[in-house]
Structure 1
Amino acid sequence: MPTLGLALMGTGRMAHVYGPKINAHPGLRLEVVYNPRIASAQKAAEDYGGRALDDLGTVLADPRVDAVVIATPTDTHVDYIEQAARAGKPIYCEKPLDQSLERVDRAMAALDAHPVPFMLGFNRRFDPDNAALRDAVRNGEVGRLNMLMSWSREPSPPPIDYVRGSGGYFVDATIHDIDLLCWIAGERPVEVMAAGSCMFDDRIGAEGDFDMTMTTLKMPSGALAHINNSRACAYGFDQRLEAFGDAGMVQTVNHRDDNLLHWDKRRTRALERLKHFFLERYDRSFYNALDEFHQAVTSGRAPSATAEDGRAALAIALACAQSAKSGNAVGPDIR
């Protein structure tokens, strides 16, 4: 198996997701951990291996670095994409590309000028259940697709400082569902209608954001897609998909540590709680996404989950935010 030497850019939460996955993959080798704060890079390198560096030019000039994994704060993505593309390094970038379409267009211009392989980390495409549901739809199991539905509810609201820098609920979270449903349907909406409310944490509302939303996407074929999001859920990380067509329906189910049915004096047919959060529920998807990147780069084909996919998902998410604020249906700015 061909091996890629990677530079892991960033040492925050998502870098700590990708570090172990890189080490677990037989075709990936962690060469460098980069952070402008060298102490943070050194700590991550102690955990996952590789050399700690704080100079990006040195990282990108290293011939042992075959590709980069950008797992830094969102507002740094475009700058790092531009520099890595100029250096000729294939790029895997955590989502979203940016919170601004103008800056996303800047990144795409850099990728056009320096056409290196690029993959955006829409990891939920690579969850086995989600991929199987898409295959069922594409293979005609439900007949003509009429409706798609996604339930995505988080166990508890994030810290308020996170909310302030998130770009809003639609851009931060709903964007995952948007990309997933468009990928399953094979089309993108001509119109969106969204509504939001704040019922769990008043501080989120004070920031002009929502902690629960409902979104409808109207597709060119006439199919409708519905997204139900909540930043709090008493019973865990609720993640379900449903595809309904004129010949049937397919659904995914929530994940638990086990599927045993428990019977005792207090309960019957009781199940374990749901997986706590995305780190547990989608653990395998991050490995699978890196595997897709490895296969694409080493075989010379284009990776899936492209920059253009990222721009479209952001445009739709921004249209949802506009709809929720205005109360009107909005046509997204999709190229």
Structure 2
Amino acid sequence: MDKVKIGILGLGRIGKIHLGNLAGKIEGAEVVAVVNPSEEGQDFARKFNVPFVSSDANVIFDNEDLDAVLICSPNDTHADYVTRAAQSKKAVFCEKPLDLSLSKVKEIIEVTQKHNVPLMVAFNQRFDINFSKIKSLVKNGKVGDLRTIKITSRDPAPPPIGYIKSSGGLFLDMTIHDFDMARHIADSEVIEVFAKGSNLVDPAIGEAGDIDTGYVVLSFENGATALIENSRQAAYGYDQRLEVFGSKGMAQANNNFKDTHLLFDEKGVHGSRPLDFFMDRYIDSYLHEMNAFIQALTQGTEPPVNGIDGLKATAIAIAANKSMEENRPVKMTEILDV
């Protein structure tokens, strides 16, 4: 296809980013329809001269001219929207998670395969230029045989309690990105998960049935181990770091800072804080991610992050929850039979 005609379901923070990128920064794509329940989101779409703007999802699913659907709506709508998109023969780009239930995720994958439509899951951190470089170094053998992956992911502040209650929990909401990243870097499947969690940030998070601090060890088929550490709060900003260690050496990707100045004085060395928000830290990765989706459609190739990737990351998160609850390592064969 020469130009991909797209409909967007949901125009919250992420949907707005995708619309802005598609409307002004990505060739070969045209946003034809946007669906959002609020007038604010609809007005935002009209600023980009989107032809069809509505609160009715049928505007997208019944439009035979559309080639693809971006699903950026609330999590509990994803499964239904992916299914409807597949049934209407439209390629699908879906924000994570596909669903919080493994059985439902499997159903989603099956329906897209049945109708032969591409499905891409939005693990945007794969497309961060720093993390992509680490992946390239590992793939090209620059660190030798991979031994250890270390991932640190700490938010500057917790999300609202209302969000926490419907998020699926820390491992399914936040750490799932790190599970996907570890699996992506290792290029191997996880065979065992051991997780610990606690409430050290806000008692209200515990009262909502979640943790705010988590630690996970992943064991891979190729012998490598990943160590992941998460916190819902870091006083100094958004902390995102990745390190790989192998037989030939080590590679690191460190934080992005507000600027790169350093002040040296009698009290020490002082610099700026890391960026404060994930939308600042990963703004370019959203563009690279969407470019990859459009290129896959125009070139007729498999999307770089597919439904199986979404299934595997979700299964690891469920294994982590089980490990934490039962205080033991959990084999992935206990969770997933594929």
Instruction: State if a TM-score over 0.5 links the two structures.
Output: yes
Give 1:38 deviation, angstroms: 6.2
- List per-residue Cα deviations over 1:289-335 (Å, max 9, x = no partner): 10000110000011011001000000000100111111111112231
User: Secondary structure of 1:262's partner?
Assistant: strand
Give 1:178 deviation, angstroms: 0.3
1:107-126 equivalent positions in 2, closer than 5 A: 107-126=108-127
Conservation of the 8 A alpha-carbon contact between 2:165 and 2:209: no
Query: Does residue 181 of structure 2 align to residue 190 of structure 1?
Result: no
Task: Please give the alpha-carbon distance, in whole angstroms, between the structure 1 residues aligned to 2:139 and 2:256.
Answer: 24
Q: Which stretch of structure 1 is more off in the superposition, 6-15 or 44-53? A: 44-53
Give 1:6 deviation, angstroms: 1.2
Tell me the equivalent position of 2:214. 213
Q: Which stretch of structure 1 is more off in the superposition, 255-264 or 223-232? A: 255-264
Q: Which stretch of structure 1 is more off in the superposition, 16-25 or 198-207? A: 16-25
Tell me the equivalent position of 1:277. 277
Letter in 2 for 1:220: E
1:219-238 equivalent positions in 2, closer than 5 A: 219-238=220-239
Tell me the equivalent position of 1:131. 132
Task: Please give the alpha-carbon distance, in whole angstroms, between the structure 2 residues aligned to 1:176 and 1:190.
Answer: 18
Task: Please give the alpha-carbon distance, in whole angstroms, between the structure 1 residues aligned to 2:38 and 2:209.
Answer: 36
Query: Does residue 5 of structure 2 align to residue 5 of structure 1?
Result: yes
- List per-residue Cα deviations over 1:169-203 (Å, max 9, x = no partner): 00000000000010010012110000001011000
Structure 1 unaligned spans of 5+: none
Give 1:20 deviation, angstroms: 1.3
Conservation of the 8 A alpha-carbon contact between 2:146 and 2:224: yes
Letter in 2 for 1:319: A
Letter in 2 for 1:90: A
Task: Please give the alpha-carbon distance, in whole angstroms, between the structure 1 residues aligned to 2:117 and 2:156.
Answer: 38
Tell me the equivalent position of 2:60. 59
Conservation of the 8 A alpha-carbon contact between 1:33 and 1:41: no
Tell me the equivalent position of 1:313. 313
Letter in 2 for 1:237: Y
- List per-residue Cα deviations over 1:75-126 (Å, max 9, x = no partner): 1111011111111111111011111111111111211211111110000000
Query: TM (normalized to structure 1)?
Result: 0.96
Residues matched between the structures, number = 333
Task: Please give the alpha-carbon distance, in whole angstroms, between the structure 1 residues aligned to 2:89 and 2:268.
Answer: 59
Query: TM (normalized to structure 2)?
Result: 0.95
Task: Please give the alpha-carbon distance, in whole angstroms, between the structure 2 residues aligned to 1:9 and 1:304.
Answer: 21
Task: Please give the alpha-carbon distance, in whole angstroms, between the structure 2 residues aligned to 1:20 and 1:120.
Answer: 19
Query: Does residue 327 of structure 2 align to residue 327 of structure 1?
Result: yes
User: Secondary structure of 2:228's partner?
Assistant: strand
Tell me the equivalent position of 2:252. 251
Give 1:61 deviation, angstroms: 2.9
Letter in 2 for 1:275: L
Structure 1 runs (4+) greater than 4 angstroms displaced: none
1:38-187 equivalent positions in 2, closer than 5 A: 39-50=39-50, 51-187=52-188
Letter in 2 for 1:108: I
Task: Please give the alpha-carbon distance, in whole angstroms, between the structure 1 residues aligned to 2:178 and 2:308.
Answer: 16
Conservation of the 8 A alpha-carbon contact between 1:27 and 1:294: yes
- The percent identity for this pair of structures is 37
User: Secondary structure of 1:115's partner?
Assistant: coil
Conservation of the 8 A alpha-carbon contact between 1:156 and 1:232: yes
Conservation of the 8 A alpha-carbon contact between 1:30 and 1:49: no
Task: Please give the alpha-carbon distance, in whole angstroms, between the structure 2 residues aligned to 1:80 and 1:253.
Answer: 37
Q: Which stretch of structure 1 is more off in the superposition, 61-70 or 245-254? A: 61-70
Q: 1:47 to 1:322 in 2, by over 3 A?
A: farther
Conservation of the 8 A alpha-carbon contact between 1:31 and 1:49: no
Conservation of the 8 A alpha-carbon contact between 1:108 and 1:307: yes
